[in-house]
Amino acid sequence: MRKCTDCSTLYDNGARICERCGTKFPYDPKVTPFSERRIALILIVFVMVVLAIFNHYISMPITDTSCSRINYLRVQKMLHDSRDRVMRIQDHGYIPISGPSIIMQERYFMENINLPPCFEPIRRDMIDYYLIMHTVTRISSFGGHTYTVPLLEEAVMLQNRVDQKMEEIDKCLPDCPTSFVESFQARE
C-alpha cells in the first residue's frame, strides 16, 4: 500500500495518481513491480493450477501394487466418487430405469480392479454394498420404499465398516504388514 503525502489516502501499489487530490506518485519498478491485486490474482491462479494437477493425478488409475499414500488417496477418491454415483441415483424424485444397471457397473468395476493387497479387505464389503443398493434401487423403482429400510441400514453398516478399515489402513501406511490383511480376514 502507498499513502498520498498530501491527503493521507491509502492506495494500491499499482496506483500512479491519487484519485482524491491528483498528486502523482513516484513510480520505481524495482521497488514496486506488482500491485497487491496482481499478486493476489497470481496466487489464486497458482493454487487453482496446483489443485487441478493434484485432482488429475489422484484420479489416475492404480498401476502399482504397493500400499502407498498415493494409492490410498486414489482408492479413497474412487470410493467417494462411486458412493456419490450410487447415491445420486437414489436422490432422484424417481428412480431412472438405468439406475440398477449403473450400480451393477460399479460392482463389476470393483470386482475387476487391481487393488494393492492392503485394500483387498475393502473389496468384499463394497461388492456387498453394491448388491444391496441394487436391490434397494429395484424395489424403490416399483414404489416399495418402506420395504428397503432394513437393507439401507445394512448398507450404512457396510459403509461404516469400509470407512473403519480405511482408517486402519491409513494408520499403518506406507508399510502395512501382511498380517494386517490376515487380521481383517480373521475378523470376518
Give the pLDDT confidence of 27-84 residue by residue, as tens digits. 666 666 666 777 888 999 999 999 888 777 766 667 677 778 888 888 888 889 888 8
Same domain, yes or no, for 166 and 93?
Answer: yes
Q: How far apart are CA 95 and CA 188, in angstroms?
A: 33
In this structure, are 71 and 31 located in the same domain?
A: no
Q: What is the CA radius of gyration of the chain?
A: 27
34: containing domain: 1-58
Indicate if 43 and 123 belong to the same structural domain: no
Same structural domain, 146 and 178:
yes
Domain count, the chain: 2
13, 39, 58: which is the final residue of a domain?
58
Q: Please indicate, yes or no, whether residues 122 and 177 belong to a single structural domain of this protein.
A: yes
pLDDT at residue 137 in the model = 86
**pTM score > 0.75 for this model?**
no
Boundary (domain end) residue, out of 58, 86, 102 = 58
* C-alpha cell recorded at residue 94: 424417481
User: Is residue 35 domain-shared with residue 109, that is, in the same domain?
Assistant: no
The residue with cell 499478486 is 39
What is the C-alpha separation between 67 and 84, in angstroms, rounded? 25
Whether residue 123 is predicted with pLDDT greater than 90 in this model: the reply is no
Q: What secondary structure letter does DSSP report for 34?
A: S
